[in-house]
Chain A
Amino acid sequence: KAGVTQTPRYLIKTRGQQVTLSCSPISGHRSVSWYQQTPGQGLQFLFEYFSETQRNKGNFPGRFSGRQFSNSRSEMNVSTLELGDSALYLCASSLPTMGSYEQYFGPGTRLTVT
């Protein structure tokens, strides 16, 4: 089975621009979660999508948004980029179980905002 894939792997953007990142989960996985990792804050939970609906959300401003498609692929969008948005963005997929679930991580997208 193919693992979680994320595109692009690297991205450079300018302050004020917007960016869209993509995540394709493992086949059969219906839950996709997004995380931000920075040297200062470590790993932080952004949001989780399940069956095209946002199920959980972390403490990030509204500039960070996402969606999930019927094939479970997910996109994350960041508008009006700030320098502090430079980070590794990871997505993870999991089986459609209720409660706690083991997550399978993608390789991440490294975003640099200049």
Chain B
Amino acid sequence: KNEVEQSPQNLTAQEGEFITINCSYSVGISALHWLQQHPGGGIVSLFMLSSGKKKHGRLIATINIQEKHSSLHITASHPRDSAVYICAVNTNTGNQFYFGTGTSLTVIP
């Protein structure tokens, strides 16, 4: 059983579309992270959340602690958003990191 589940696994969108990626987790957490990984392997941390909502440019991340669920939204998607998006959690005991399997996003011009 995976501690972190992401959906969808793969996503293809037309440029300009609104995109949502979902993440559910089963452990108690102190924080949830959204990461972006481009081809070639480099990982960038997009958001770290422990409650509520954060916005950075066209990206919005929300978390519902009671439902153990988070969403990453991309507004007005662009081909440069094409990447793998990974949800990760810090547990609140032992400070372990668990990762989702990632969502591969392709935005077509």
Asked if B95 and A56 sit within 8 Å, CB to CB, the answer is yes
Does residue A99 face the partner (Cβ distance < 8 Å to B)?
yes
Chain B residues near A104 (CB, 8 Å)?
45
In contact, B43 and A105 (Cβ under 8 angstroms): yes
Residues of the B chain whose Cβ atoms lie less than 8 Å from the Cβ of A100: 30-31, 48, 50, 90
Give 7 closest A-B pairs by Cβ, nearest first. Answer: A100-B31, A105-B43, A43-B99, A45-B97, A100-B30, A100-B90, A108-B41
A interface residues (Cβ-Cβ under 8 A, vs B): 33, 35, 37, 42-45, 48, 55-56, 58, 88, 90, 92, 99-105, 107-108, 110
Whose C-beta in chain A lies nearest to the C-beta of B99? A43
- At the interface, is chain B mostly helix, strand, loop or mixed? strand
Given contacts A43-B88, A99-B30, contact A105 B44 (CB under 8 A): yes
Option from A43, A48, A55, A103 in Cβ contact (under 8 Å) with B45: A103
Report the number of A-B residue pairs with Cβ-Cβ less than 8 Å.
54
Q: Confirm or deny: B73 has a beta carbon within 8 angstroms of a beta carbon on chain A.
A: no
For chain B, residues 62 to 109, give those with C-beta under 8 angstroms from any C-beta of chain A: 86, 88, 90, 94-102
Docked-complex contact A110 and B45, CB < 8 angstroms: no
User: Among B41, B45, B96, B101, which residue has its beta carbon within 8 angstroms of that of A45?
Assistant: B96
CA distance A111 to B41 in the complex (A): 13
Q: Which residue of A lies closest to B32 (CB)?
A: A100
Q: Which of B94, B97, B99 contacts A33 (CB 8 A)?
A: B97
> Which residue in A42, A43, A102, A107 is a CB contact (below 8 Å) of B42?
A107
Cβ contact within 8 Å between B50 and A107: no
Q: With A42-B99, A100-B31 in contact, is A56–B94 under 8 Å at CB?
A: yes
User: With A58-B96, A100-B90 in contact, is A88–B50 under 8 Å at CB?
Assistant: no
B99:A108 contact, CB within 8 angstroms: no
Closest to A44 in B: B99
Closest Cβ neighbor of A45 among chain B residues = B97
Give complex CA distance A88, B86 in Å.
Answer: 16
Residues in A neighbouring B94, C-beta threshold 8 A: 56
